[in-house]
A and B are shown apart, each in its own frame.
Chain A
């Protein structure tokens, strides 16, 4: 008996599906369980298998939409002929339940929602879990009820009320806005342990030691008392006339003041006035502050970790106060081990046509070191190679993607393929390595590209005599020169980076491990 090939129902919301492709031609012999065609709906490709052995006859043309239950083809047994159109029409009638048997309507069984009532409605209405999220979202987004004793009920504060609300809203996310800047936490947080004004601005809200939280919680009662004292209120009023950002009780504003204090370069004129005002309002403030300072200093300050900044090097450079500073470091690297490894790998890979070069080893080491130093943006361990082959040749930059994490052989193979082609330069590498090996030049001063914090040049390998006990031997050395943008990478970090590259190249077997 002829077995129909049915277009299945993929879900209650499906009306039609695209009949995409026959895998087997009309008249082909198919076996049970073999995929014969494919349908597509809602980014889902479904392969339909033959339900019995036989001859496949096409009925539907690919590229058209059909409803669920459509008989798109037939599988005929030996000696069977194509059934008539009326037979097929009657075959399609039970086709729908058959399809339902293949694709059980899950909502009916799995979820207590009547499927018959809503076959035409959209997924969103019959799919339960969607309802869970709006509630969660509002909980998360709505500001916390205004119980925090932040707003002073005081006339001078009226002008600043929106600001206070804003501070409260912020407090829904970050419950403890600092009343003074905690420079300790901001210190040396950037890549290469360099601090920028922005780090000071952001740090107290990012990291706050637990001890400080308690100090903050103890403070608000005094804060609400402050405005009740008439002389102080008068003072404050006078101050409020002089400038809008004066209320010391609103944490947000204090924060802004201290922000301003933290970046004198931005608002140099206002800075002294602001700090003076912050110290002024309360006579009892000094000792209170002193006790607080005591509490703050007694709480153990965790050593700030070296974290990669979310900013890109260009952003960081733009926000740095210092003028352009490209500095250089130089290291001599012993290449004996690397050369030995190269020889071994060349033998080992001889069948595949992939041959590692000195540049491959150095590039790999640079990529690894850049990632380890936290100087790569996350995963973005691109390192470029500028190959200088001859005086009349352009100097393309090849980007070596995933240089630190891929298997060495794969990386070498890809790089070899890239160097073969001469494509346009791509300058989004974190570090460019310029190889001078072809010219036999020892050294040059590289220059980082437009968006790069680092550039390195590798010179030619030189042989130097060494005294090995009684004998005179020779060693191979190479000069690596690192140029770095000191506004993005600190001097110490750059030195560590170069030392790490040298260590990796001198003990190169570690580079083979992805």
Chain B
């Protein structure tokens, strides 16, 4: 497959627990690594969860761990790069399981592509997102709106980008996002000053993903969603 034949199947999983989506990603990545499967883009929202990057096993919290537990928020260790982050309802999470070798795309270009996709989405709502040298993710006027984190093995990616649409922002106060205590988080709703539907954002994300990374994105209807994400 050459670069102009890139294609990806998009699965909108709805709201999932982190564990379910993670298990699905691992399966897809392993399959892709062995030369099977298809390149996939998983769009989902998670129930509240805090995840840690592989190199930062100690959570960088602003509060006691007990407080986080009392919120009913789990802390999960993952294999991705980067530091601590929060996922929750109202946050669009996109995971790409992509064979970069087949796409003839470098890892950093893929990360940049995810960021540009988010910037394209923000532009659709009239918000100017930008990338900042030395600090991955997407920023709006110095506030962070999207976080990236990837794991790559045999040039197959997993994990991806999390774009805040209208999450419970108070949950971000529990952590030092990306391990940086001074980072202020924001959301698309906060930036445009009204509620934004996450489904619309999902559609926009898929469109821009196809445009930025020059691939054919095919949305797969998931009537059998229950069996895919396991028990939800």
Min CB gap B56→A, angstroms:
10
Interface residues contributed by chain B, number (CB under 8 Å): 63
**CB atoms of A40 and B153 under 8 A apart:** no
Known: A379-B89, A379-B90. A13 touches B108 (CB 8 A): yes
By the criterion CB–CB under 8 Å, are B90 and A378 in contact? Answer: yes
In the bound complex, do residue A127 and residue B112 qualify as a contact, i.e. CB atoms below 8 Å apart? Answer: yes
Q: Which residues of A contact B73 (CB under 8 A)?
A: 401
B90, B101, B128, B170: which has the most chain A beta carbons within 10 Å? B128
With a cutoff of 8 Å between Cβ atoms, the chain B residues found around residue A378 in the complex are: 89-90, 166, 195
**What size tier do the contact residues of chain A reach?**
35 or more
Task: Identify the stretch in A77-85, A99-107, A144-152, A186-194 within 8 Å (CB) of chain B at 4 or more residues.
Answer: A99-107
For A124, give the chain B residue with the smallest CB separation: B131
In the complex, are the beta carbons of B111 and A418 less than 8 A apart?
Answer: no
B195 touches A310 (CB 8 A): yes
Residues in chain B near residue A21, CB distance under 8 A: 54-55
Interface presence of A346 (CB below 8 A): no
| Closest B residue, CB atoms, query A13 | B108
CB-CB < 8 A to B81: which residues of A?
A: 40-46
Of the stretches A174-182, A252-260, A402-410, A482-490, the one at the interface is A402-410
Q: Is the CB of B72 within 8 A of A137?
A: no
Q: How many angstroms from the CA of A428 to the CA of B48 in the assembled complex?
A: 15
Stretch touching chain A among B36-44, B116-124, B216-224:
B116-124
Q: Does B24 contact A (CB under 8 A)?
A: no
Contact indicator A133/B79 (Cβ below 8 Å): no
Which of B66, B70, B155, B231 contacts A407, CB < 8 Å?
A: B231
Q: Pick out which of these stretches binds chain B: A4-12, A288-296, A332-340, A385-393.
A: A4-12
Q: How far is the CB of A50 from chain B (nearest CB, A)?
A: 11
- Cβ of B211 within 8 Å of any chain A Cβ, yes or no, is yes
A380 at interface by CB-CB < 8 Å: yes
- Chain A residue with minimal CB distance to B214? A110
The distance in angstroms between the C-alpha atoms of A428 and B109, with both chains bound, is 42
User: Considering the chains assembled together, what is the distance between the CA atoms of A42 and B133 in angstroms?
Assistant: 10
> Is the CB of A117 closer than 8 A to any CB of chain B?
no
User: Once the chains bind, are A14 and B108 in contact (CB under 8 Å)?
Assistant: yes
Q: Is the CB of A104 within 8 A of B106?
A: yes
B47 partner, pick from A43, A141, A406, beta carbons under 8 A:
A406
Tell whether A129 pairs with B212 under 8 Å between CB atoms, given A44-B108, A137-B128, A406-B47: yes
Q: How far is the CA of A487 from the CA of B128 in the complex (A)?
A: 37
Q: Select from chain A the residue with minimum beta-carbon distance to B48.
A: A401
Point out which of A47, A104, A106 has the most chain B C-beta atoms below 10 A from its C-beta.
A106
B72 touches A10 (CB 8 A): no
Closest chain-B Cβ to A42's Cβ sits at a distance in Å of 5
Given A38-B54, A42-B136, A402-B47, A104 and B104 touching (CB < 8 A)?
A: yes
Closest to A11 in B: B108
Residues in A lying within 8 Å of B, measured CB to CB: 9-14, 18, 20-21, 33, 35, 38, 40-47, 49, 102-107, 109-110, 122-124, 127, 129-130, 132-133, 136-137, 140-141, 310, 378-380, 399-402, 405-407, 414, 418, 421, 423-424, 426, 428, 514
Q: Which 7 A-B pairs have the closest CB atoms?
A: A11-B108, A379-B89, A45-B81, A43-B82, A401-B72, A110-B3, A11-B106
Interface residues, chain B, with chain A CB atoms under 8 Å away? 3, 15, 45, 47-48, 53-55, 66, 70-73, 79-82, 88-90, 100-101, 103-109, 111-113, 116, 119-120, 123, 126, 128, 131, 133, 136-137, 147-155, 166, 168, 170, 178, 189, 194-195, 211-212, 214, 231-232
Would you list 12 pairs from A and B whose C-beta atoms are within 8 A, ordered by A residue?
Answer: A35-B153, A43-B53, A43-B81, A43-B148, A45-B152, A47-B152, A103-B155, A106-B3, A106-B103, A137-B128, A310-B189, A399-B72
Excluding A43-B80, A44-B149, 20 further A-B contacts by CB distance (< 8 Å) are A12-B106, A12-B108, A35-B153, A38-B54, A40-B54, A41-B108, A43-B147, A44-B81, A44-B107, A45-B150, A46-B81, A47-B151, A107-B106, A129-B212, A310-B189, A380-B89, A401-B71, A401-B73, A402-B72, A426-B71
